[in-house]
Each structure stands twice: as C-alpha cells, then as structure tokens.
Amino acid sequence: MSDRLAVGIDADSKTLVVACHGTKGSTRIPNSASAIGKWLSTLPVGSRIGVEATNRYHELVVQAAQKAGHVVFVLNPRDIKHYAKGVACRGKTDSGDAQVIARYIAKEADNLHEHVARSPAQEQLHVLLQQRDSLVRSKAKLNLSLGAGASESAIFGRIFDGLKEAIALLDQQIQQLCRSGEQRDLYRRIMTIPGIGPTVAAFVTHHITRWPLTSSDAWIACTGLDPRPNESGARIGRRRLSKRGNASLRQILYMAAMGLTRSKNGKALYNAIRERGHSSTASFNILARKLARIAWGVFKSGRDFDPAMLKVGQACFQQG
C-alpha cells in the first residue's frame, strides 16, 4: 500500500464530488476545465486518483489529471458497488461514493491497471464508435417500447428512418477513418476473417490496439468472453462468462459469430460445438471467443486470415 494521496471522484455531467482517503467529508466542484485545473493544482504530484467509468462525464478530469502528473484509475462501477457492500456501507450518496472510491484506491491501487490515455487517432475513432453504439441502443429501445411494427408505421417510421440514416453515415465515417488511419493494414487483415465485416473490424481493430496486451488470454479478458471457474471443495459448478470489458465489443463479436455460421466451415464448427451439449447461445459465445483469438493471431502475425483456422479440430479452436 502506497503513502501517496488517494483520491476518489464521483462524476456526473455537471459536477465532481471529490474525497481524499483519511479525510472526512468531500468537496463538490464544477465538471469544467477551469475548475478541475484549479482543484488539481492543490494536490501533490503523483497522487492516485480513482473515478468510475461513466458515459463521457469522467473523461475531462481523467485527461487533466494525467497531464498534471497524477496516476489515474478508471474503475468498473460494478467493482465499486460490490466493494461498498463488502465494507458495510449503510447508504448511498455522492459524497459516500467518492469516499468509497478513495478507500478502494488507497487499499487496492497496487493491484490495479493505470489508465492508458488514447492517442488522437484512437480518441477520434472512440468517439465515433461510442456515438454509433448510442444510436443503435436508442433504436433498439424505441423498437421495444413502441411495439412490433413501429418502424413501419406512418407516425414513427420517419424517426427510425432518421436513426438508420445516421447510423449509416457514422459507419461511413468509421470505415473511412479505419481505411486511412494508422491501423489501416490491421483493419484490412481483420476483415479477411469470415464473419467479420467493416463495422466489426473497426471495433476489433480499435480495442485490440487500445491496451498494451501481452497475450491472447489478456485480449479475451478484455472482451469479457473469458469463462470464469465456479468451484468450491468437491463441487465443480458451471462456468460463466466474466462479461467484463467493453459490452459493445462483446455483443458485436457475438453477432459476427452468428454471421460466421453462414459459411460452410463456420457451420461445421457450430454443429460440432452443439454436439458437445452446449446451448445455441453458449455455442455462439464460444465461436465469438474463437473469432477473437483468430483476430489476435492475425494482429500478432501480421498476416491475413488462414482458412485452415476454421477447420473442425484445428488447435486454435481446441482451446475453448
């Protein structure tokens, strides 16, 4: 455990509630560049700062804190929720959340990964992918809430048409950026994998180059498609996906796995997995994980996809 100052931040669109471990109370400041800069100047350089991942509300303070020489951790909200329960927090307030985050950083920072700032190109692609994801989710929510056939109705049809047009325009920008960007060669190679089209390739290319990963297992963990053991004593329970990492990446790999089954070799693989007793959902998750491993192989080797990888019984598909 370090003796450096541990700071917790609860962020929303307008304000930041900040707390320091070992100090009672908290401070509320505007979520603006000037207020953040003024507050950061009061901290000793090298302070450890933790903030939960939000939509985009945490990003301004994260960027400013890193530029000011502090160590920043962007935390999974689920981890903080469980930690708060584990230390018997008896209520939930913005101030309480900031204090819990500060305590978490003070106790656990040595075991956490420091946030890695995006390059300008990564930031540009990140924003476009995030905007696309927001539109896709909004379209799905509208479809569910308005009922079947809403997208074809005279009243709501234009709303859905507008969303489809906006998504298509974003796809064009994403693909243009990927084809001309610093990772254009990798983007092209990823698209040689069956089941992976331009949009999926953009997600994979962005996320596989986002972190300094050292192994395919680390990459699979980033997708959240890694199965976690569930064992205690003599009991061996059913393994479940960790579902950590980026949910949109995981979902789009699942859709790619469904598309893969339209090919001859992909269908044979799917059938072989089903014959082992897996449900259709589990089988698609297994295929999604295999596609992610193949993408890692293409990334590290610098070569295009090898069709032999999709043959039933190949080693790369033996590692569930």
Tens digits of per-residue pLDDT, 182-230?
899 999 999 999 999 999 999 999 999 999 999 999 999 999 999 987 7
3-state SS, residue 8: strand
Mean pLDDT of the chain: 91
pTM: predicted TM-score of the whole model, two decimal places = 0.85
Residues with Cβ within 8 Å of 307's Cβ and at least 6 positions away in sequence, in order, are 265
What is the Cα–Cα distance from 113 to 54, expressed in whole angstroms? Answer: 18
Counted domains in the chain: 3
Alpha helices in 42-119 (DSSP H): 59-67, 77-86, 94-108
Does residue 229 sit in the same domain as residue 174?
Answer: no
What is the Cα–Cα distance from 98 to 87, expressed in whole angstroms? Answer: 14
Does residue 167 sit in the same domain as residue 291?
Answer: no
For 36-47, what is the mean pLDDT? 96
**Residue 217 in contact with residue 226, Cβ under 8 Å?**
yes
pLDDT by residue (tens digit) across 308-317?
777 654 444 3
Does residue 201 sit in the same domain as residue 177?
Answer: no
Q: HSE, CB side, 13 Å, CA atoms: give it for residue 114.
A: 13
Residues with Cβ within 8 Å of 56's Cβ and at least 6 positions away in sequence, in order, are 130
Does residue 193 sit in the same domain as residue 253?
Answer: yes
Burial letters 282-294, b for 16+ CB under 10 A, else e:
bbbbbbbbbbbbb
Does residue 292 sit in the same domain as residue 208?
Answer: yes
- Pick from 312, 311, 270: nearest CA to 287: 270
Q: Give the pLDDT score at 198.
A: 96
Does residue 235 sit in the same domain as residue 288?
Answer: yes
Bridge pairing between strands 231-232 and 235-236: antiparallel
Q: Is the dihedral of CA 90, 91, 96, 97 positive or negative?
A: positive
**Residue 212 in contact with residue 268, Cβ under 8 Å?**
no
What band does 154 get if pLDDT is binned at 50, 70 and 90? confident
CA distances from 260 to 171, 221, 255, 296 (A): 21, 22, 9, 17
Does residue 246 sit in the same domain as residue 216?
Answer: yes
- Pick from 306, 265, 304, 309: nearest CA to 290: 309
Q: Give the residue from 94, 111, 128 where a domain finishes.
A: 111
Q: Give the pLDDT score at 2.
A: 60
For 106-111, what is the mean pLDDT? 95
Does residue 250 sit in the same domain as residue 300?
Answer: yes
For 133-162, what is the mean pLDDT? 90
What residues make up the domain containing 194?
A: 184-320
Q: In this structure, what CATH number is given to the domain that contains residue 98?
A: 3.30.420.40
In sequence order, the β-bridge partners of residue 27 are 18
pLDDT by residue (tens digit) across 119-129?
999 999 999 99
